Amino acid sequence: MTASRKYHITTFGCQMNKADSERMAGVLEDMGLQWSEDPNGADVILYNTCTIRDNAEQKVYSYLGKQAKRKHQQPDLTLIVAGCVAQQEGEQLLRRVPELDLVMGPQHANRLGDLLEQVFEGNQVVATEAIHIVEDITKPRRDSKVTAWVNVIYGCNERCTYCVVPSVRGVEQSRTPEAIRAEMEVLGRQGYKEVTLLGQNIDAYGRDLPGSTPEGRNKHTLTDLLYFVHDVPGIDLIRFATSHPRYFTERLIRACHELPKVCEHFHIPFQSGDNEVLKAMARGYTQEKYRRIIAKIREYMPDASISADAIVGFPGETEAQFENTLKLVEDIGFDQLNTAAYSPRPGTPAALWENQVSEEAKRDRLQRLNRLVEVKAAERTQRYANRIEEVLVEDRNPKNPSQVMGRTRGNRLTFFEGNIEELKGAIVKVKVSEVRAFSLTGELLDVPALV
Ligand code: SAH
Ligand code: SF4
Ligand code: F3S
């Protein structure tokens, strides 16, 4: 292969996919390929796909159709579908888009190099069998120079009745604390300032690893991991996602409170504010338990920011049950909430139930919920007015080049006038001058010593 070959990756879906894309980009660069911003200028095109809802899946097909056509003019174009649609559809994807060269599930991300070798030998390859994820020995090509994702657990063993993730991401596989720490140490040396530890159900971290404490508790929990990685030199801020209310512990809350690098932001999806719906979803907690968790977090960290995900129109959800979700949102006051209308997914139990909610009702509920979210976020954000916040500067404001942007410890996007060359990667104090529902504008208070 010649060094002039170019690749393009389009990533859909969640942070796990973003992290996988960065690793796959690393593999491609190791093979001598160069990034092409324009997909039409690339010789290797990779779609890293998401199938969490039907519209996410359909988006992939429309993108793919265009590139498949291009392949008729440019036969040496290599077309790859990776990620969750690849895992879900497997061979069927080849039947639907015969122009594809490689279909690979998320567990195979680290194997991209080997798989491509097979493709370059003239094979059409499908890699979707369940495997033990080999420790990542590749160098990811990370999008940011300031913040980085670090996977701590792959897969999910829950069986929420609406969700495709367990069937596309496989069973839980935790990385060892030593491997996680080693990756963070490299990041620290490279100048990264913030790490987000990733898992679909990060509270499950370690339950598949051997070893227990003298009291008989599993010695590898997320809480233990936070203590273990906390002093990694250079890394100043640590975040983690996604938390599951069923496993969230007071020990974890205490650790977040005690450990200065761990940011006071919690992403804990509740999905529904109604106990019957939660039961039908097989979530394993009640709305009362959820409220207790948030109350406990706020007891230790009154200013903590709380975000979550919620689904409206789950099969059988009545108007009154939906109103319980509104009530929960009203009472908790989220800083941010990702909302979605329920979408039946192949191979999930709830997709087969007969009590589906009409599209019209789903749309209506989604709109009403979103309106409330906006109102509540606008209320919550007022607490930032005129406050001095610590912000890690990540980049230029893409909409205003004289401004830079970063996030507060509470994960609120913040813009202010400043020079990115000077400030990138610095943690600075910013006086907030303008608050909006989901972002802030401020003024830089101190210019840091050279970083
Ligand atoms: N592991 C996380 C979230 C995984 S998926 C958790 O347990 O909460 C991200 C979000 O997509 C979910 O929180 C849920 O709100 C949404 N989601 C998942 N499946 C969905 C479906 N079938 N229809 C609509 N939204 C869905
Ligand atoms: Fe899906 Fe539930 Fe696992 Fe989250 S915990 S990824 S919603 S099955
Ligand atoms: Fe989508 Fe797969 Fe993530 S389905 S949300 S990309 S785990």
What is the residue type of 279?
K
CB distance 201 to ligand 2 below 6 Å: yes
| pLDDT number for residue 131 | 87
Mutate to test the pocket of ligand 3, among 50, 85, 160 (most ligand atoms within 8 A of CB): 50
Name the closest-CA residue to atom 2, ligand 2. 160
Q: Across the chain, what does the average pLDDT equal?
A: 95
Q: What is the average pLDDT across 253-273?
A: 98
CB distance 244 to ligand 2 below 6 Å: yes
Residues 304, 267 contacting (CB under 8 angstroms): no
Domain harbouring 176, CATH code: 3.30.750.210
Closest atom of ligand 1 to 14 CA is 9
> Is 320 inside any structural domain?
yes
Looking at all shown ligands, the one closest to residue 54's CA atom is 1
| pLDDT number for residue 395 | 97
Residue owning tokens 């095109």: 45
Give residue 447's pLDDT band: very low, low, confident or very high (50, 70, 90). low
Looking at all shown ligands, the one closest to residue 49's CA atom is 3
257 and 158, same structural domain? yes
| Number of domains into which the chain is organized | 4
CB distance 156 to ligand 3 below 6 Å: no
| pLDDT number for residue 139 | 82
What is the 3 state secondary structure string of the chain? Answer: CCCCCEEEEEECCCHHHHHHHHHHHHHHHHCCCEECCCHHHCCEEEEEECCCCHHHHHHHHHHHHHHHHHHHHCCCCEEEEEHHHHHHHCHHHHHHCCCCCEEECHHHHHHHHHHHHHHHCCCCEEECCCCCCCCCCCCCCCCCCCEEEEECEECCCCCCCCCCHHHHHCCCEECCHHHHHHHHHHHHHHCCCEEEEECCCHHHCCCCCCCECCCCCECCCHHHHHHHHCCCCCCCEEEEECCCCCCCCHHHHHHHHHCCCECCEEECCCECCCHHHHHHHCCCCCHHHHHHHHHHHHHHCCCCEEEEEEEECCCCCCHHHHHHHHHHHHHHCCCEEEEEECCCCCCCHHHHCCCCCCHHHHHHHHHHHHHHHHHHHHHHHHHHCCCEEEEEEEEEECCEEEEEEEEECCCCEEEEECCHHHHCCCEEEEEEEEECCCEEEEEECCCCCCC
Name the closest-CA residue to atom 8, ligand 1. 269
> Is 235 inside any structural domain?
yes
Alpha carbons within 13 A on the beta-carbon side of 294 = 20
> Of 240, 263, 286, at which residue does a domain stop?
263
123 and 33, same structural domain? yes
**What percent of the chain lies above the pLDDT cut of 70?**
98
Q: In what order do the strands lie in the sheet with 305-312?
A: 265-267, 305-312, 336-341
Which has more confidence, 22 or 217?
A: 22
Looking at all shown ligands, the one closest to residue 199's CA atom is 1
Query: How many Å apart are CA 298 and CA 2, to the nearest integer?
Result: 57
Domain harbouring 57, CATH code: 3.40.50.12160
Looking at all shown ligands, the one closest to residue 156's CA atom is 2
CB distance 200 to ligand 2 below 6 Å: yes
123 and 25, same structural domain? yes
Q: What is the average pLDDT across 358-370?
A: 98
Residues 229, 261 contacting (CB under 8 angstroms): no
CB distance 163 to ligand 3 below 6 Å: no
Does pLDDT of 334 surpass 70? yes
Q: How far is ligand 1, taken at its centre, from the CA of residue 36, in Å?
A: 32
Query: Per-residue pLDDT tens for 115-173?
Result: 999 999 999 999 999 988 877 767 899 999 999 999 999 999 999 999 999 999 999 99
Q: What is the average pLDDT across 4-31?
A: 95
Q: How far is ligand 2, taken at its centre, from the CA of residue 157, in Å?
A: 8
Name the closest-CA residue to atom 1, ligand 1. 200
What is the extent of the structural domain holding 205?
144-263
> Is 346 inside any structural domain?
yes
Residue owning tokens 């401004």: 403
> Of 349, 368, 384, at which residue does a domain stop?
384
CB distance 33 to ligand 2 below 6 Å: no
CB distance 314 to ligand 1 below 6 Å: no
366 and 353, same structural domain? yes
176 and 74, same structural domain? no
232 and 158, same structural domain? yes
Give the tokens for residue 212: 């227990």
Give residue 449's pLDDT band: very low, low, confident or very high (50, 70, 90). low
Query: How many Å apart are CA 222 and CA 205, to the nearest integer?
Result: 6
| pLDDT number for residue 211 | 81
> Is 285 inside any structural domain?
yes
- Whole-structure pTM value: 0.95
120 and 54, same structural domain? yes
Does pLDDT of 1 surpass 70? no
405 and 337, same structural domain? no
Name the closest-CA residue to atom 1, ligand 3. 50
Least confident of 92-106, 110-124, 174-188, 208-222: 208-222
**What percent of the chain lies above the pLDDT cut of 90?**
92
Q: What is the average pLDDT across 91-117?
A: 95
Query: How many Å apart are CA 425 and CA 444, to the nearest integer?
Result: 14
Residues 192, 181 contacting (CB under 8 angstroms): no
Query: Per-residue pLDDT tens for 380-393?
Result: 999 999 999 999 99
CB distance 309 to ligand 1 below 6 Å: yes
246 and 232, same structural domain? yes
CB distance 52 to ligand 1 below 6 Å: yes
163 and 123, same structural domain? no
Query: Per-residue pLDDT tens for 301-312?
Result: 999 999 999 999
Looking at all shown ligands, the one closest to residue 157's CA atom is 2
Mutate to test the pocket of ligand 3, among 10, 18, 52 (most ligand atoms within 8 A of CB): 52
Does pLDDT of 423 surpass 60? yes
